[in-house]
Structure 1
Amino acid sequence: MDKNKILQHCLLLGVFGSAVCTDGWKVSVVESLDALVSSCVVLPCTFSHPHENLPTSKLRGKWHVTSDRDQLIYYEDSTRVLENFRGRTKLLGKLGDGNCTLEMIEVKEHDSGPFCFRIEIARTPTDTSTPDKFSFVKNCVTLNMIHEPPKPSLAHKIPVEGYPFTITCSVTHTCPSHIPKLTWSRGSENEITEHHRKLQLGMWETQSILTFIPKEDDDHKDVTCTAEFNGQRTSEETMTLFVKRAVNYNHIIIPTVVAIITAGIFGGLCIFMMKKYKKRINELQSQDGTMWNRMSRISRR
């Protein structure tokens, strides 16, 4: 048996349940994902095969139910897809790039899986009997159905009157192709910024940051952040503002400054008067001395 036939034999064994010959056929998926019913979910998936780089036109990707690879939940020929999944699934990546990520919309209660990816290498665009194919039945994805959307979380410090105050609203999700929309009960567009990031494989986070300057009349008012998920599913979180009065030292500073200025003026006047008084005394003493001298000269005569 030549080398190619041995390889084909191993691949066929792998397809029909043997885990012995899997060299070169690899897949990376998240085994368990949360999925919001009536919304959407994205199943991250990357794969590799034992052949050199091939274009997407020579690769056929399928997603199927674990128990039967003919029960397709995704395939380019939608007529072969189970009716319950028809029109609700699509690949987000390119097979030629090794990306087999699947999007599922309008998630239903029975969409729990497990679901497995299958790759077929076609010799021609119409080839349906290629021996180069593999189902990753030991690396499948199970969906955990969530009936209520996750509530956003609010992070903030103590608001102080007259100083910029920031509230961060965050919500996690499993559908980056349809990011949840976060809205506030107050604030203009210029006061709001948004960020999106990947937390881990299969989990993402959306943030909305509201910045404003609290006023005295904002005290004890509510601020609400609402998260709207794909499928018009919503959740919200509310916080009450307890605005701290800004520390004002004017009632201390102003009287102190006035007292210092007054004391300075009074002290200056006192010094001026003292100098003037001393000068006058010196003048009088000088006059008295002159008169005494005159009287002494007269008495000598």
Structure 2
Amino acid sequence: MDFLNPLFAGYILLQVLIQNVTCKWEASMPLTLTGIQGSCVVIPCTFTYPGQQKPSTDITTIWYKDGNEIYDSRTSYTLEGSKYLLVGDVGKKNCSFKINSLESADKGNYYLRTEIQNLDKYTYKETLTAITITDNPEGPKINFAEEIIEMKQVRATCTINNTCRDSPPKFIWDQQNAATVTERTFQNENMTAVSILEFTPSSKDNGKVLKCDVEYPNEKRSSTNVTLNVLYKPKINQSSECTLNQTEFTCYCEIDSNPIPSIMWHLPDKNISDNSTDGTFTSYSFVTGTIITSVIEGPAGNMNTISCSAHNYQGSAAEVFTIQQRLSGKYGFCLTSEFVDMELNYI
């Protein structure tokens, strides 16, 4: 098997050489970019040429706008404050190009030319980037990685396209909804700036507005907001009660829940679902926002207890009404209630 080792080593060497040798003059740039007036734009750019990879000292880079030369690496300034700046390492075949202090006159088609010592020169006219300039940046987008659930940490992202990657915008979150906050911002390779906000919501945050503002280096601003939809298990309100009208009773079970729960009334010998009747007992309900009030009516008879339970996929809650017959006669009933929801426990 030893005779294979030189062959294997030769194969590895060949693969390395192939990776560093190309046969075509090609450039890769985005078709379009939008820059914000007063800010900057970076044209991401890579290029190839025939033969072995050359050092950056052997490569002259020239950029054109609408057929007119605007940058030549042999003569142009390379200071950060310059109007035009080569920010890519051409020795690594990166020709990314930055345009500062954007104005309406910078709108146009940009393309690259390279002149390589001891090789050849080529103008990549078939590959160009059309740049437009705007004074009104688009608004960011807010997304959530998952459902927003009470007392469970949630991650919100605010994302904006940012063609000036060397000068990322400033993100400003409206954090009044968040008790615990972690925030971080980064710029990815897809010319997108992202801010991540992590917070722990409560049921009181449901329906509140979460806002993300973006401020650009030129002080232009854009913003967006979303209304929080916080999911939480049913909570039976203290206003729930029963009343008597002669021998008939009416019980009200008021529940705060998101999503709206299924409700069941539990009598000593039967269950009555919400919005139904068995001919003797009738249940109905009405909804206001996240509050649903279920009502049951019927004869009190010799009933001692009646209970209301509510369930959604976040959890359950229940309330027990105790009916005690203290006196005989037409009005001889007393009604009390006991909450058996874990968060509400009183008599």
Whole-Å separation in 2 of the counterparts to 1:147 and 1:256: 59
Deviation at 1:237, TM superposition (A): 0.8
Alignment pair present for 1:116 and 2:79: no
| Aligned residue identity for 1:140 | L
Distance 1:40 1:224, change over 3 A: same
User: Which consecutive unaligned segments of at least 5 residues does structure 1 have?
Assistant: 1-22, 80-85, 124-130, 258-301
Q: Which has the higher strand share?
A: 2
Distance 1:158 1:41, change over 3 A: same
Distance 1:241 1:52, change over 3 A: closer
User: Which consecutive unaligned segments of at least 5 residues does structure 2 have?
Assistant: 1-22, 236-315, 321-337, 342-347
Partner of 2:197, secondary structure, is strand
Whole-Å separation in 1 of the counterparts to 2:121 and 2:37: 33
Whole-Å separation in 1 of the counterparts to 2:92 and 2:157: 36
Residue number among 194, 198, 202 corresponding to 1:215 in the alignment: 202
Residues 101-250 of structure 1: matches in 2 within 5 Å? 101-122=96-117, 132-156=120-144, 159-186=148-175, 190-199=181-190, 204-215=191-202, 217-241=204-228, 243=230, 246-248=233-235, 249=316
Q: Which residue does the alignment assign to 1:75? A: 73
Whole-Å separation in 1 of the counterparts to 2:47 and 2:148: 50
Whole-Å separation in 2 of the counterparts to 1:96 and 1:163: 49
Distance 1:67 1:245, change over 3 A: closer
Q: Which has the higher contact order (CA 8 A, sep 6+)?
A: 1
Partner of 1:96, secondary structure, is helix
| Aligned residue identity for 2:158 | C
1:61-107 per-position Cα deviation (integer Å, ceiling 9, x unaligned): 11123424xx324534227xxxxxx8122112111111111011221
Contact 1:222 1:241 in 2 (8 A): yes
Contact 1:159 1:165 in 2 (8 A): yes
Greater displacement, 247-256 / 27-36:
247-256
1:260-280 per-position Cα deviation (integer Å, ceiling 9, x unaligned): xxxxxxxxxxxxxxxxxxxxx
Whole-Å separation in 1 of the counterparts to 2:130 and 2:57: 29
Deviation at 1:196, TM superposition (A): 4.1
| Aligned residue identity for 1:223 | L
RMSD: 3.2
1:151-186 per-position Cα deviation (integer Å, ceiling 9, x unaligned): 111224664443434332222222322233322121
Partner of 2:91, secondary structure, is helix
Distance 1:122 1:78, change over 3 A: same
Whole-Å separation in 1 of the counterparts to 2:232 and 2:139: 31
Distance 1:154 1:76, change over 3 A: same
Residues 34-45 of structure 1: matches in 2 within 5 Å? 34-45=34-45
Deviation at 1:134, TM superposition (A): 1.9
Q: TM-score, normalised by structure 2?
A: 0.54
Contact 1:39 1:233 in 2 (8 A): no
Partner of 2:233, secondary structure, is coil
Residue number among 84, 87, 90 corresponding to 1:92 in the alignment: 87
Whole-Å separation in 1 of the counterparts to 2:180 and 2:215: 18
Contact 1:167 1:211 in 2 (8 A): yes
Distance 1:179 1:133, change over 3 A: same
Alignment pair present for 1:31 and 2:31: yes
Deviation at 1:40, TM superposition (A): 1.6
* Percent identity of equivalent pairs: 23
Q: Which of structures 1 and 2 has the bigger CA Rg?
A: 1
Distance 1:76 1:220, change over 3 A: farther
| Aligned residue identity for 2:163 | T
Partner of 1:148, secondary structure, is coil
Deviation at 1:29, TM superposition (A): 2.0
Deviation at 1:56, TM superposition (A): 0.9
Distance 1:65 1:251, change over 3 A: closer
Partner of 2:57, secondary structure, is helix
Contact 2:60 2:72 in 1 (8 A): no
Q: Which residue does the alignment assign to 1:12? A: none
Whole-Å separation in 1 of the counterparts to 2:54 and 2:31: 27
